[in-house]
Structure 1
């Protein structure tokens, strides 16, 4: 006879019940987002607050989190325990109540009646638990600190003293106000992000992702260190769509890391190259992950302006990684990929129709000035039509393959929705307590009004706050906490936001909590910490370039065309020189003194001429010195060894 303690773990929804329920909720989430992006409710004459749509999305996503995510990450889920069923039901009921009654409840936010604060308390507590399951404790602790400040802000000293709120009003405000959980981050996730994840899933289902990997193999496989270059190119292409460094590592690293290791490259460096390449996908136009859409909203700019500003830094980032991969391969004698592993050119050419989806996306964004979600849906339609018509590698997706991307998208977006909702709590506390202004003032005071000191301080905050958090969560936190202080001291707003995006993103590959590097290390079976430090070396440009475009916005395409052209040219030379110095190889293996010289002249060339008075002289010295070193090393390589 089974004891009660043995039976208890099996009490709940069995797999054959909860999996269809998850699919149903996921389908509803995706279709609701698509309907909103297409303005179908408006076309049907339905009028309601945007927050009602956002709340409805959260009413689907929060129960999904409790159905899909076990309380302990390592636990298996044959049965959804009864307490998770209760949590999922409570979340659905509370948020459905908010959705249905929002027009009446929104006027009661600061009155704090039970019908406002009870669903608010339920939503906040369940959201925090769902975030813990999805991302770990880091973000939950940060949000907990902010909630504590919201309740007891008057107890803090000096400039950090805030206006306290009683818990009833705080719960009502967080759950109902457009500056709280139902604010901008969740609005972007519920509309724009869902459509772009659908686009990425359609590419995967129709063979588009394989086409881009095969294209990288075909284009780079015949050159030295081809496997490493394939990782860089494939991860850049996939990452610009996926917007998630860890997802990118998992999707492309499972192919590229074993290939790099087979070529004789050390396991930790193979993992590091993949981690850095995957991380950079989040700043690679045209998609740039979810953070770019939020940036456009925060700055009240078009998405196209953000993309144009990000082009040069992202190209320099990947150029640095690509050059290091090439020179490391030359130093270690790593040759091209085996001919048998390179796909047939004619076969790859049959997938060129996938490029049309990106063309439509870019045309919609930049020429027609469509909303990002509308452009993404147009690209989705093009991918479906061309894939069914032409196929890839003699395979055409079935209607079932295409339909399965709908529930998959709903499931994939749950974590982003949870993070966005949680970020709304932080923004809400900053607004309602006055902490936003106080923090900006405190940071500026701490930096002493010195731009460089403030940037260095902000860089440390960006990396520390980013540890263990997905990039979207990092960016929202930093946009609220750090960016205002940078703008306050005169830094161009778009440069300030790109600065925090870059530095926050680098937490993905910076020990001690480098989740992209650690994910790659797991695939490579390498030391996690060695992989993290190797990743920092390969990704050095992302630690340096943000400082440069803050001082000279020519690197983000702001300025006179001739100044922009000169800045790009000298920066490209600087990246090449520094990469050679770090790799210890140019045309020959470089002695230590030569490596130092390459790095020094590279840094001088990398500094834009407009960074400070007389900076054009550093460009001249760096360019002349660097080119001289290149010529000398080329001549060394022509001298036969004895």
Structure 2
């Protein structure tokens, strides 16, 4: 491998990057013939059913089990038991798929009698319940690997054998029948909150994202960013930041955004002088922003709304300022990179002018903001994403090259059915269902964990242990909680990490007076760190595969880009004034909020992020001395603590460090 980056993305690099996407989303079979037609038909039917359920009324007791049945059925047909059996459907896959339907039909056909006997299940209830638990564990293993099923199994064992554990972890223990009754026969376990959100919101957003993808919105967002930002020393980095926001907002997937953007942006970053690991770190950091950026955020954001019983629009409001601070940190890092690495002006071959691109494809921006517009009009989140999907589909017909259904179909040219079957519309409907399988399987598994926690009271036990360790200190409790979330996130995806910690760690912060919305947002942001933390640092590893860099050095570079923004969550749990960063968590409170207080805490947070960026990069007006670097870091940490004294100390240190740099002047030439 040459020392200088070539800036060429090879097929081998893209193949390695695709492996990281498969590691997060599962390695799906690529089928042909009638099997492919059957899978496509099932996936399209699943998307059609959920779009119907969004507009019509389907009872919760029916929707959740049917969603799980569809997810498990497609998972066992699409994801092999091991790579040795890839690209074919084996007899055991068919048996597992049919069992998935059977266990759910037992639930639906059982009616009220089924749920009424959850404390005293009969033999068939126990058989089907145990079968469903095993199927969910296997579905998670096929889509996300061994770690999540192993953790879920530990929780199940805890419920069964808790009586043999020492204090404070002990509980009376539950028999198999009682545990199965809670997890399978009520809406508190597998069919609980996580599956509710997956069946009513997450799948609709994956369908919406697929419609945007197949209508050409993703390509437009990249072209628009390249055209708007190219040609300046910081243009390459700024392009990555802007494109990652536009791409990531609708997708909500960190790895997919990293790979999509990296395959076209790495040559540009190499051209202006980015080193392989630094470029990979920036690409991964941009991809990470997809999980915390409105209007979609990650799947965990829908769970926040459900856990707190607030509207999804409230969650979007809470995410606005932290998202702006995250991208401010990235922009500042890019600006510093241009000076630190001595990047010069480079003229890029523009796809087209910004005006021409906007004039032709303006409707893609309409698709991007339509969800928020519908919610502001008073539509529910479910109906908002439904109508946004309709808007995206209808708007695609404004340009022939974007149309989800080719114009020739309507003109009667050629065979109708084959053209429609191979159209972007069918591919989007198929992609929407397949794209949700790994997340939905994780939600079903997380339902097992949540059910065990509620049944055994583990959440209250854990919160008491954390508070005792912190001796009642809110700062120490927040630090311990962030470490717990981070450690859990090392092993499991963001969605699972949030769900687990929301039920076992959030009560500790809430017990010490932190509002529930601030506690849940704190946990959400630290759960997102799982995307950039080994051994599951999938976004940096995927970026390293594209740039040819070292995976772990790329991960450290990604940490450098993102750490300033990830200290911000401490601001909204340590002091009431810091909650202004979340716009007080609800539209009602926002209407009566002290706007000056919100502006004040936002400005101090921005200065803190800038100070941390300068400290971690070792560069502000010029290269910082070790003493100046320490001053910037100390100022950043002080500004993160939202008190008047800490703010004055932090601002004073920033002013002093900048003055020292200014007074040093330029070095005299020899």
Give the structure-1-normalised TM-score. Answer: 0.91
Query: In 1, Cα distance between the equivalents of 2:257 and 2:436?
Result: 15
Question: Paired residue for 2:38?
Answer: 21
Query: In 2, Cα distance between the equivalents of 1:234 and 1:513?
Result: 24
**2:491 alignment partner, SS class:** coil
Greater mean alpha carbon deviation, residues 424-433 or residues 572-581: 572-581
- Residue of 238, 241, 244 corresponding to 1:229: 238
- Residue of 49, 55, 58 corresponding to 1:32: 49
Aligned pairs, how many? 614
- Residue of 459, 480, 502 corresponding to 1:479: 502
Question: Paired residue for 1:630?
Answer: 658
Question: Paired residue for 1:147?
Answer: 156
Query: In 2, Cα distance between the equivalents of 1:324 and 1:304?
Result: 30
Question: Paired residue for 2:372?
Answer: 362
Structure-2 change in CA distance of 1:618 and 1:437 (3 Å):
closer
After superposition, what is the alpha-carbon deviation per residue over 1:545-577, rounded to whole angstroms, capped at 9, x for unaligned? Answer: 111221131222236222211111122122122
Say whether residues 1:555 and 2:581 are aligned partners: yes
Structure-2 change in CA distance of 1:285 and 1:498 (3 Å):
same
After superposition, what is the alpha-carbon deviation per residue over 1:34-56, rounded to whole angstroms, capped at 9, x for unaligned? Answer: 11110255xxxxxxx41221111
* Runs of 5+ consecutive residues of structure 2 not aligned to the other structure: 1-28, 407-422, 585-592
Q: Are 2:44 and 2:426, in contact at CA under 8 Å, matched by a contact in 1?
A: no
Question: Paired residue for 2:405?
Answer: 398
Question: Paired residue for 2:140?
Answer: 131
Question: Paired residue for 2:636?
Answer: 602
Say whether residues 1:52 and 2:62 are aligned partners: yes
Query: In 2, Cα distance between the equivalents of 1:339 and 1:637?
Result: 34
Shift of 1:27: 1.5
Shift of 1:476: 0.7
Shift of 1:257: 2.9
Residue correspondence of structure 1 range 206-355 to structure 2 within 5 A: 206-336=215-345, 338-349=347-358, 350-355=360-365
- Residue of 601, 610, 626 corresponding to 1:567: 601
Question: Paired residue for 2:619?
Answer: 585
Shift of 1:228: 2.0
Shift of 1:76: 6.1
Query: In 2, Cα distance between the equivalents of 1:497 and 1:192?
Result: 19
Query: In 1, Cα distance between the equivalents of 2:55 and 2:470?
Result: 46
Query: In 2, Cα distance between the equivalents of 1:591 and 1:292?
Result: 41
**1:339 alignment partner, SS class:** coil
- Residue of 419, 422, 444 corresponding to 2:442: 419
* Runs of 5+ consecutive residues of structure 1 not aligned to the other structure: 1-11, 42-48, 609-614
Query: In 1, Cα distance between the equivalents of 2:661 and 2:362?
Result: 41
**1:549 alignment partner, SS class:** helix
Say whether residues 1:495 and 2:529 are aligned partners: no
Greater mean alpha carbon deviation, residues 596-605 or residues 176-185: 596-605
**2:89 alignment partner, SS class:** strand
Say whether residues 1:95 and 2:104 are aligned partners: yes
Say whether residues 1:430 and 2:453 are aligned partners: yes
**1:143 alignment partner, SS class:** helix
Q: Are 1:185 and 1:294, in contact at CA under 8 Å, matched by a contact in 2?
A: yes
Shift of 1:14: 7.4
Q: CA RMSD in A?
A: 2.2
**1:80 alignment partner, SS class:** coil
Shift of 1:380: 1.3
Q: Are 1:228 and 1:256, in contact at CA under 8 Å, matched by a contact in 2?
A: no
Question: Paired residue for 2:75?
Answer: 65
Shift of 1:640: 7.2
Structure-2 change in CA distance of 1:24 and 1:97 (3 Å):
farther
Shift of 1:225: 3.0
Q: Are 1:217 and 1:343, in contact at CA under 8 Å, matched by a contact in 2?
A: no
Query: In 2, Cα distance between the equivalents of 1:433 and 1:170?
Result: 10
Shift of 1:370: 1.8
Structure-2 change in CA distance of 1:590 and 1:555 (3 Å):
same
After superposition, what is the alpha-carbon deviation per residue over 1:423-448, rounded to whole angstroms, capped at 9, x for unaligned? Answer: 10011111122223222222222322
Q: Are 2:281 and 2:561, in contact at CA under 8 Å, matched by a contact in 1?
A: yes
